[in-house]
Amino acid sequence: MTSVTEPKKIILVKPAHVYYTHADLESAHAFLLDFGFAEEKRVGSKIYYRGYGPDPFVYCASQGDKTEFGGVAFVVESEDDLKLASQTIPGASEIYTLEDAPGGGKCVTFKDPVDGFPFHLVWGQKERAGKREVDEKDELPNGNPLHLTFNFPEDKQRPAGKFQRFKKAPAPVYKLGHVGVCVTDFPKTFEFYTSRFNFYPSDLLHKPDSKEYFNTFCRLDRGSELVDHHCFFFFEGPKYHVHHSSFETHDFDTQVLGHDWLRHKGYENCWGVGRHIMGSQIFDYWFDPSKFILEHYVDGDLLDNTYPTQKKAASHDGIHDLTFQQDSWTERNFGLEVNIVDVIGNFRLKIINQKKKTIFRNSVN
């Protein structure tokens, strides 16, 4: 029986889409196409973008006076979950219909109780039928191969005469994988999202010099169903901001070709390509023209509810195994507020600043 102190949880199924408002929508639109989204629908000053997966849209961009993050939406399991959210989350909206959004559906919006960013819950969206086109054609939307096989030194998987040829093209987005935010009160944020929803911490990080937790990578508890290692992460910092939104693309070749495409278009790389430790995904972070960070990823870990929370100290070595790009953004732009080093808070910054001081000392000696 559910007690007063343990309210019934709102059950989430998967991340659905994100909302961003851009002061310069035209530039944002050009970037989003180069990043690998496909325009699905325009309504007034709003553009809905989809990937090639079943979700009717994964990104909604609006023109506005102010550039800002409009929140993430998660699909809930049933209409009852929407009702529960509407009735029990302080300040939550009534259930409303997604009038102009591709796929329709119903929604409840609430504001994060600590930092006030919008958070959306959707149910009843109609999935895209178009995904079948990719399967039928047996190729990705950019014309590159859908089914790949790899020849390892002692395990040759590709038969004679079967070639793998790729064209230079944007890396097509499949789905929204995760969203990260910097929050100002980690314990309160953690308590809210893990008690009201089926968010479950895959990793919980404390500061290196204390047992104070400040960062978590949460997955969804879906029982024995396999889910992504994380779909929502948050860490404590001095000021709320969205850290990044991450979109899954098909494979490593596609990802690297997409990296090359964005580089040649003159966009600013943030960090990558490299491989993370928590989640294992191969990452590639980019700044859009409004300075929001978007990630392409492939090959992330899957977990079920048998895997317990990993509690550990944050460290630079815990973030990535390898970054293939030497002159990475993190090394060139230390000290800026919107920085990938936020992921492990000030610890990394401290190391970089020490390094900077050492370099400076060496250069003047």
Instruction: Name, in order, each residue with C-beta under 8 angstroms of 190's C-beta and a sequence gap of 6 or more.
Output: 201, 213, 216, 234
Dihedral, CA atoms, 311, 183, 304, 283, nearest 10 degrees?
A: -90
Q: Is 203 in the site for Fe ion (CB under 5 A)?
A: no
Binding Fe ion (rule: CB under 5 A), the pick from 248, 295, 301, 342 is 295
In angstroms, what is the minimal distance from the CB of 251 to Fe ion? 18
| 339 lies in the site for Fe ion, by CB under 5 A | no
Does position 255 interact with Fe ion (CB under 5 A)? The reply is no
**How many residues are listed for the chain in this entry?**
365
Identify which of residues 128 and 229 has a Cβ nearer to Fe ion in the complex.
229
Q: Does 216 bind Fe ion (CB under 5 A)?
A: no
- Of 230, 133, 212, 199, the closest CA to residue 172 belongs to 133
Task: Determine the interface stretch with Fe ion among 87-95, 203-211, 291-299, 313-321 (rule: CB under 5 A).
Answer: 291-299
Binding residue for Fe ion (CB under 5 A) from 246, 249, 255, 330? 246
For the record, the structure tokens of 146 come out as: 């859908």
- Judged by CB, which is closer to Fe ion: 198, or 246? 246
Ramachandran assignment for 124, one of left (phi > 0), alpha (psi -120 to 50 degrees), beta (any other):
left
SS3 345: coil
The window from 47-55, 80-88, 94-102, 293-301 that contacts Fe ion (CB under 5 A) reads: 293-301
The binding track of 77-116 with respect to Fe ion, each residue x by CB under 5 A or -, is ----------------------------------------
Q: How far is the CB of 283 from Fe ion (least distance, A)?
A: 6
Structure-token pair, residue 6: 């343990």
Our CB check for Fe ion shows the closer of 29 and 296 to be 296
* 84 Ramachandran zone, left/alpha/beta (phi>0; psi -120 to 50): alpha
Chain CA centroid to CA 197, Å: 18
Residue with tokens 């047996």: 138
Q: Which stretch binds Fe ion (CB under 5 A): 28-36, 57-65, 292-300, 351-359?
A: 292-300
Q: How far apart are CA 22 and CA 26, in angstroms?
A: 9
Question: Binding-site residue total for Fe ion (CB under 5 A)?
Answer: 2
- The torsion defined by the Cα of 320, 325, 328 and 330, in degrees rounded to 10, comes to 0
Residue 78: other Cβ atoms inside 10 A: 13
Stretch that binds Fe ion, among 50-58, 107-115, 139-147, 238-246 (CB under 5 A): 238-246
When the beta carbons of 228 and 295 are compared against Fe ion, the nearer one is 295
- When asked if residue 202 is in the footprint of Fe ion (CB under 5 A), the reply is no
Stretch binding Fe ion (CB under 5 A), from 67-75, 149-157, 183-191, 287-295:
287-295
**Does residue 254 belong to the site contacting Fe ion (CB under 5 A)?**
no
Residue 328 makes contact with Fe ion by CB under 5 A: no
DSSP 175-218: EEEEEEEEES-HHHHHHHHHHHB-EEEEEEEE-TTSS-EEEEEE
Closest CB to Fe ion belongs to which residue? 246
Site residues (vs Fe ion, CB under 5 A): 246, 295
